[in-house]
Amino acid sequence: MPEKARVVRPITLRDIAREAGVSINTASRALTGKPDVSDKTRRLVQAVADRLDYRPNQLARGLRQRKTATIGVVVADLANPFFAEVAEGIERTAAGEGYSIIVANTEENEERERRAVHTLVERQVDGILIAPTQSSDASIRYLLQRRIPVVLLARFFEHLQVPAVINDDREGARLAVRHLIQRGHRDILYLNGPPYNSSARLRLSGYQDALQEAGIPFRSSLVISTDARAAGGYAAIQQALAAGLPFTAVFCFSDYVSFGAIRALRQARLGIPKDVAVMGYDDIDLAGLVEPALSTVHIAKTRLGQVAARMLMGMMEPSGKQAERVGVTVLAPQLVIRESA
């Protein structure tokens, strides 16, 4: 007959206290490094805790302290290298300060975002980092109203005063398109992201800025909205080619879109950059590894995550700044010229 598995009850402060012959209170103070504990008892308690491998229950601690050392991270798509790198920057920074992160995916879905935010609130996270689906700002307003520290990632709302860490999208697009123009292109296709996305709007402005500087008239027919994925870039190029749109260069909303676009161009037997130049945006890891190496606009993704996390942790301190006083941090984009343009 098999022995019944003995369920090991976790060691609590009470166990430590009993074993060390002190009160629970004293055990707590000793272990949390509070003053007003004699060195002798502190060492004793510490020794017992070590021996029993005591692990404080952070649930109980959080309940009591109204502070969980947890940050909620809400992104559109974890599998997207852009967000994955941002998340990595956040995780590293948070872990360094003793914070854990709860991660939720929205897939750009408003309802999933709503649920994710509620879940995080119920789990008493100390603050939230979120790349908002911008079809609605309800979740953000909800957090503001509940006075929960929040910092937006990579996107922002013009009409809402919320701290954010973003890339200078307008400038980045300007740099990219200016580069294409310098290489002699005048018919530049722009495969943009979805219009509700703040980056998409700003990059479109940057695209227009660069054209205007060069005295090239803007043609809305050369701007195609995509879903910002590779398939979108692929489809958009096919569509452009079929429609007989005249272009010698393509500026893409993201590196992913570029990869799709390049694939479609190749299938049409167009050489890159010989026949058509291509520029991406984001500078994901693989951009420099493919053939032709992708010319693109670099965003400091881990840095973005790191800065956002630091900003949030600052707001979460007892004496931390209020959201209204934090503002928006804008990261400078950087042009990366490789082979595709």
The whole-angstrom separation of Cα 290 and Cα 266 is 14
Integer Cα distance of 311 and 315 in angstroms: 6
38 near DNA, rule: CB under 7 A: yes
User: What is the spatial distance between Cα 278 and Cα 241, in angstroms, rounded to a whole number?
Assistant: 15
Q: What is the C-alpha separation between 115 and 196, in angstroms, rounded?
A: 21
65 binds DNA (CB under 7 A): yes
Q: Mapping DSSP to helix (H, G, I), strand (E, B) and coil, where does residue 73 land? A: strand
**Residue 62 or 314 with smaller CB distance to a copy of itself:** 62
Count Cα atoms within 13 angstroms, Cβ side, for 213.
14
Instruction: Work out whether 182 is an interface residue with DNA (CB under 7 A).
Output: no
Answer for which of 47, 59, 138, 160 binds a copy of itself (CB under 8 A) is 59
51 binds a copy of itself (CB under 8 A): no
- Within residues 259-298, the interface with a copy of itself by CB under 8 A covers 259-260, 262-263, 266, 285-286, 289-292
Binding residue count for a copy of itself, defined by CB under 8 A: 57
Closer to a copy of itself by Cβ: residue 116 or 331: 116
Q: Is 12 in the site for a copy of itself (CB under 8 A)?
A: no
Interaction between residue 242 and a copy of itself (CB under 8 A): no
> DSSP assignment, residue 123?
T
Q: Toward DNA, which CB reaches closer, 147 or 269?
A: 147
Helix (H, G, I), strand (E, B) or coil at 144: helix
Identify how many contiguous H helices and E strands the chain contains and give both numbers.
12, 12
Q: Does 15 bind a copy of itself (CB under 8 A)?
A: no
**Alpha-carbon distances, residue 56 vs 15, 28, 142 (angstroms):** 12, 10, 32
Omega before 81 within 30 of 0, i.e. cis: no
How many chain residues bind DNA (CB under 7 A)?
Answer: 32
Q: Output the DSSP codes for 290-326.
A: SSSPPBEEE--HHHHHHHHHHHHHHHHSTTPPPGGGT
23 in contact with DNA (CB under 7 A): yes
Distance, CA of 287 to CA of 291 (rounded, Å): 9
Selection from a copy of itself, DNA, none that 182 binds (CB < 5 to 8 A by kind) is none
Q: How far is CA 223 from the centre of its chain?
A: 26
In the list 18, 41, 52, 339, the residue contacting DNA (rule: CB under 7 A) is: 41
Choose, by CB under 7 A, the member of 10, 96, 246, 327 that binds DNA.
Answer: 10
Q: Is 215 left (phi over 0), alpha (psi -120 to 50) or beta?
A: left
Using CB under 7 A as the binding rule, whether residue 33 contacts DNA is answered as: no
Residues at the site binding a copy of itself, with contacts judged by CB under 8 A? 5, 7-8, 55-60, 62-63, 68, 70, 77-81, 84-85, 87-88, 91-92, 95, 100-105, 112, 115-116, 118-124, 146-147, 230, 259-260, 262-263, 266, 285-286, 289-292, 302, 322
Site residues (CB under 7 A) for DNA?
A: 9-10, 12-14, 21-26, 28-29, 31-32, 34-38, 40-42, 54, 56-57, 60-61, 63-66
